[in-house]
Amino acid sequence: MKANMGTADKFIRVLLGILVAVLYYLNVISGTTAIIVLAFGIILLITSLVSFCPLYTLFGINTCKRK
């Protein structure tokens, strides 16, 4: 896996993941919707931590700065 995510992209994904967790913790979202949104938030956090997004590869997107 070659990194294809830049710093700003990773930061935004982490913020969204944390936002989802807070919304769930405060019971703003619940039920099936909460499970789906939490899964999406976990995916955002994992892809941010490994700096790789499989969808970016499919669409040919690369926000990582070239060296």
In a domain, 67, yes or no: no
Residue 7: pLDDT band (50, 70, 90) is: very high
Q: Across residues 5-31, what is the average pLDDT? A: 95
In a domain, 66, yes or no: no
In a domain, 2, yes or no: no
Q: Across residues 24-41, what is the average pLDDT? A: 95
Number of domains observed in the structure of the chain: 1
Domain that holds residue 11: 7-59
Neighbours of 9 (CB within 10 A): 18
In a domain, 30, yes or no: yes
Q: So what's the pLDDT on residue 67? A: 61
CA distance 62 to 13: 15
In a domain, 29, yes or no: yes
In a domain, 1, yes or no: no
Q: So what's the pLDDT on residue 65? A: 82
Across all residues in the chain, what is the average pLDDT? 92
Q: So what's the pLDDT on residue 2? A: 87
